[in-house]
Amino acid sequence: MKMDNERESRNVEDRRSSSGGGRRGLPSMGMMMMIWPFIKPLLRTKIGWAVIGLGAAAYFSGFNPLSLVGLGGGASSPVNKAQDEKQAVFMKKVLGSTEEIWNSLLPQYGLRYTEPTMVLYRGSTRSGCGYASAQMGPFYCPADKKVYLDLGFFDELARRHNAPGDFAQAYVLAHEIGHHVQDLQGTLDKVQNAKQGWGNSKKANALQVRVELQADCYAGVWAHHAQKKFNILEEGDIAEALNAATSIGDDRLQAEAGQRVRPDAFTHGSSAQRMEWFKRGLVSGDMRQCNTFQ
């Protein structure tokens, strides 16, 4: 991506030097869903309950028990400060680009754009939606209108999911900004109200997939207009974004985890769906083409 001449957003909270340590509050629903497969079998025995108690004590003392099975950050990996700062500057410029595009584009659809804040952190931090950790990946919190981003996620994206590249990283942030646009449209509230009472059901999952695919499409809309206005794309950039969308499709992630592919358990959409909707926004540049709820 050609971002050298783009401005950095000022809507950034940099918590990289202060996040990751100390006592923690209650884990968020996202964290509970992540650790449930480890907790469930322990509930069947007294020894298991003892293990849960010890794990909870360790967690609230600041240690992540999941690090013992290779899933968490008990001890932080060494960070190359120069590379980390370069990454932070790049993400600030991408955020600035989204501000330019959505501030000019959204009024054409009868809405005013209010700019969200991007929180950069390492390891763990608090959000308006609960505890945030690197293992949860980037997310948008409608309660405080902030995008939470642990820069270490991009190392994971490149190494574990084989999806490197700067435009792949830009796509991830643009997707989360897509959720902010949905929040401004009232879509997130409508979906949340519809899901109330459904619990972790197939219907709730299917509705959440539509939310995520629309955010993918909005990421494509941003890329369409950013290229038109700033000429940011280089050869291979689109392939990077499509590869990232493919790599984090639910079917791919389930298969990589050694699980049977279960479409009824999808929450973000298949690889093919994510690619399709990103491309639809990229080609059209029209938000009206992103109605995944029809």
| φ, ψ for residue 53, nearest 5 deg | -60, -45
Mean pLDDT is lowest, of 59-68, 87-96, 234-243, for 59-68
The span from the CA of 238 to the CA of 1, in Å, is: 10
**Residue where one domain finishes, among candidates 21, 46, 69:** 69
Which pLDDT value is given to residue 27? 54
> Residue 15: pLDDT above 90?
yes
Task: Read off the pLDDT of residues 173-193 as tens digits, 9 standing for 90 and up.
Answer: 999 999 999 999 999 999 999
What single-letter amino acid sits at 245?
A
The span from the CA of 293 to the CA of 276, in Å, is: 15
User: Is there a single domain that holds both residue 92 and residue 231?
Assistant: yes
Mean pLDDT is lowest, of 59-73, 87-101, 226-240, for 59-73
User: Is there a single domain that holds both residue 85 and residue 52?
Assistant: no
User: Is there a single domain that holds both residue 58 and residue 109?
Assistant: no
Could you give the number of structural domains in the chain? 2
The span from the CA of 11 to the CA of 130, in Å, is: 21
The span from the CA of 156 to the CA of 154, in Å, is: 5
Which pLDDT value is given to residue 78? 66
Which pLDDT value is given to residue 68? 46
Q: What is the DSSP string of the chain?
A: ---TTSPPPS-EEE-TTT-S-S---PPPHHHHHHHHHHHGGGGGSHHHHHHHHHHHHHHHTT--GGGGGTSS-SSPPP--HHHHHHHHHHHHHHHHHHHHHHHHHGGGGT------EEEEESSEEEETTEEEEGGG-SEEETTTTEEEEETHHHHHHHHTS---SHHHHHHHHHHHHHHHHHHHHTHHHHHHHHHTTT-S-HHHHHHHHHHHHHHHHHHHHHHHHHHHHH----TTHHHHHHHHHHHT-HHHHHHHTTPPP-GGG-SS--HHHHHHHHHHHHHH--GGGG-TT-
Instruction: Report in angstroms the alpha-carbon separations of 94 from 25, 71, 156.
Output: 31, 29, 20
Please report whether residue 22 resides in a domain.
no
User: Is there a single domain that holds both residue 84 and residue 58?
Assistant: no
Structure tokens given for 200: 């972790």
The span from the CA of 163 to the CA of 282, in Å, is: 19
- % the chain with pLDDT above 90: 53
Of 244, 204, 265, 269, the C-alpha closest to 36 is 265
Task: Read off the pLDDT of residues 115-150 as tens digits, 9 standing for 90 and up.
Answer: 999 999 988 899 999 988 877 889 999 999 999 999
User: Is there a single domain that holds both residue 139 and residue 186?
Assistant: yes
Structure tokens given for 223: 């890329």
Which is higher by pLDDT, 272 or 162?
272
> Residue 274: pLDDT above 50?
yes
Which pLDDT value is given to residue 76? 46
Structure tokens given for 252: 């791919």
Partners of 127 in the beta sheet?
130
User: Is there a single domain that holds both residue 127 and residue 156?
Assistant: yes
How many Cα atoms within 13 Å fall on the side-chain side of residue 136? 27
> What domain range is 51 assigned to?
29-69
What single-letter amino acid sits at 5?
N
Please report whether residue 23 resides in a domain.
no
> Residue 199: pLDDT above 80?
no
**Residue where one domain finishes, among candidates 47, 69, 91:** 69
User: Is there a single domain that holds both residue 90 and residue 193?
Assistant: yes
User: Is there a single domain that holds both residue 153 and residue 274?
Assistant: yes
pTM of the predicted model, to two decimals? 0.78
The span from the CA of 285 to the CA of 228, in Å, is: 10
User: Is there a single domain that holds both residue 40 and residue 142?
Assistant: no
User: Is there a single domain that holds both residue 130 and residue 168?
Assistant: yes
Which pLDDT value is given to residue 135? 77
User: Is there a single domain that holds both residue 228 and residue 161?
Assistant: yes
User: Is there a single domain that holds both residue 56 and residue 85?
Assistant: no
Instruction: Report in angstroms the alpha-carbon separations of 263 from 24, 161, 205, 222.
Output: 34, 20, 9, 28
Please report whether residue 254 resides in a domain.
yes
